[in-house]
Structure 1
């Protein structure tokens, strides 16, 4: 039976010369970028929910007309249906502006930092935290998949 090395794989081991502060800094940069992933998800939820509401207005307008309230149907159609969410922008434009102005540059910078400062090794901070917190030899605390 071949014994597996009980520790992180090479992709999650600290390269020679990387000090604790730099590993922590890269971990913090990664955490900040991960937070932007969550923010972007919320922005897409905003985009989809707003679009769903706008499409539902078609039904509201039709029902107001059917109910004999054309003045209210006209008002909803003129004042809210298709309205910008911020001046000049529908939600897709907000999403695109966020992606182009903030999200993509952030992703690129974080990727470049990991590549140049840690040889492309991602999540070193977390990998070291896992090593420090796991119980060696415990079947539910293995260092990586496929080890025991």
Structure 2
């Protein structure tokens, strides 16, 4: 067992009276939020890639015109350029709806659970996992950065 001097800082130690089951439950909740963060990142990638493709259509339209294919240039310009990706929505509106409807609520709930059940201390599950897996005294297995915090 590691001592407090050799273990995690206060913000990563389980508050007195917090059970292992609570730490595991909060760890699972935080892991689900992290997955949602990744999903949101993919949604932003979708938003940016779709926008990039839309701007790339400008070149396609110009090249079709240059090659003498005015009708195809017109079709691309009027049928695809600036088109909604789903009825009534450009990608920014999808991102906004996701944030407003799901993401913000999930973040707020996870934060409230950590605040109430673990005195606001984040990553307790991971901190305890680190303690169980590191080798005490090994220079590459230190419990925390060298900040002087205890």
TM-score normalized by structure 2?
0.94
- Structure 1's consecutive aligned runs of 4 or more residues displaced over 3 angstroms after TM superposition are none
Residue matched to 1:62 = 62
Counterpart Cα distance in 2 of 1:85 and 1:36: 22
Q: What residue in structure 2 maps to residue 31 of structure 1?
A: 31
Partner of 1:41: 41
Q: Which runs of no fewer than 5 residues in structure 2 stay unpaired?
A: none
Q: What is the distance in 2 between the residues matched to 1:87 and 1:141?
A: 53
- For residues 84 and 33 of structure 1, the distance between their equivalents in structure 2, rounded to whole angstroms, comes to 29
Deviations 1:62-95 (A, max 9, x none): 1111110000001101111011111110000000
Q: Which runs of 5+ in 1 are unaligned?
A: none
Paired with 2:139 and 2:7, the residues of 1 have a C-alpha distance of 13
How does the TM-score come out when normalised to structure 1?
A: 0.95
RMSD: 1.1
**Aligned-residue offset at 1:130:** 0.3
Match of 1:10 in 2: 10
Aligned to 2:123: 123
